[in-house]
Structure 1
Amino acid sequence: MSVQPASTEIVSRTAAVVRELQGLEGPLLPILHSVQEEFGYVPQEALPVIAEALNISRAEVHGVASFYHDYRKHPAGRHVLKLCQAEACQSMGSDAVAAKLKQALGIGFHETAKDNSVTLEPVYCLGLCACAPSAMLDGQVIGRLDDEAIDDIVAEVRR
């Protein structure tokens, strides 16, 4: 399991990110993205730092961070597998693909494997509707998921 940074380190590193980006127009989303890139998730300790610097409430920062599904509250596994659950993928069997992946990985959506190998997340369109069902593994899109592709994905995240 990954070691999470101490609270003072989170505050310090978040403050550095905020200083770099707070001059942007509409800086909250870029700051949240950079904080997640920095830590692998958006730590709760970062929210008041961001709120104070941007002169907005912690509730506003929390509302934005919790509204967008790409922001994580906890560190992700070594691999992040995003499985499309939008209508086109559903019509082409994404529910069956999801069931097979959940079974093979031993986790559900929004969960990380006990060995920290992979985090499974639902997404609601990858723009690969013509290649449905689709997924994204560590930023690389995979279309036309079938049993062979599922086996390849599972093998990749288990390495």
Structure 2
Amino acid sequence: MGGPNTSMTDRVRALVAAHRGDRGALLPILHRIQAEFGYVDQEVVPVLAAELNLSRADVHGVITFYTDFRSEPAGRVVVKLCRAEACQSVGAEQLVAHAEQALGIKLGQTTPDGSVTLEQVFCLGNCALGPAAQIDERVVGRLSPSRLDALLAAEARMA
């Protein structure tokens, strides 16, 4: 992927400047970077470390610890399948297996065409309607393999 472009580096420095006086500024800055660019390019790690007087290892550790941060762009549609106990008890693992097979990817991956990123979460607060998922920003429940396929097909038509 190479280094970040100058505008990304400049934007990261501007975000750091906006949060420089904040205690624990790294997390809000990372969230802003993710919101703006869709991911946190690993090439901005040294920039953040230098600007915030942190080690590269500290910055990298925070990025990799929190599952919300991506190190590469997500697909056009992000599907987060709930794997918490309540959803597991009503078929979440079978839904995960179906999604992986249907999309040809594993959890944490994006389809080669960049259309779908498949992720796992451990509770969406929709326990009574499991198995549940979040498709982009919309939480859906009572998913079956066929309903998931239909929702993904509808998303593909809208893209």
User: Fold match, TM over 0.5?
Assistant: yes
- Match for residue 34 of structure 1 among 1, 20, 32: 32
- Give the share of equivalent positions with the same residue, in percent: 51
**Which residue of the partner structure matches residue 136 of structure 1?**
134
Which residues of 2 match residues 51-62 of structure 1 at below 5 A? 51-62=49-60
In structure 2, do the counterparts of structure 1 residues 17 and 80 end up closer, same or farther at CA, with 3 Å as the change threshold?
A: same
The aligned residue for residue 156 of structure 2 is 158
Unaligned stretches of 5+ residues in structure 2: none
Which of 115, 118, 123 is the aligned partner of 2:116?
A: 118
Deviation by residue 1:57-100 (Cα, 9 ceiling, x = unmatched)? 11111101000111011111111111111111111110111111
CA-to-partner distance for each residue in 1:129-157, whole Å, 9 max, x for gaps? Answer: 12111110111111111234212222034
Distance (whole Å) between structure 1 residues aligned to residue 153 and residue 45 of structure 2? 37
Judge conservation of contact 2:4–2:43 (CA < 8 Å) in 1: no
Q: Which ranges of 4 or more aligned residues in structure 1 deviate by more than 4 Å?
A: 3-6
Give the secondary-structure state (helix, strand or coil) at the position aligned to 2:22.
coil
Q: Which amino acid aligns with 1:130?
A: A
2:9 is matched with which residue?
11
Structure 1 99/105 Cα, relative in aligned 2: closer, same or farther at 3 Å? same
Cα pair distance change 1:81/1:156, threshold 3 Å: same
Question: Mean Cα displacement is larger for which, 142-151 or 124-133?
Answer: 142-151
Gaps in structure 1 of 5+ consecutive residues = none
Structure 2 Cα separation of the partners of residues 83 and 108 of structure 1: 12
Please, what TM-score do these two structures have when normalized by structure 1? 0.89
1:145 aligns with 2:124: no
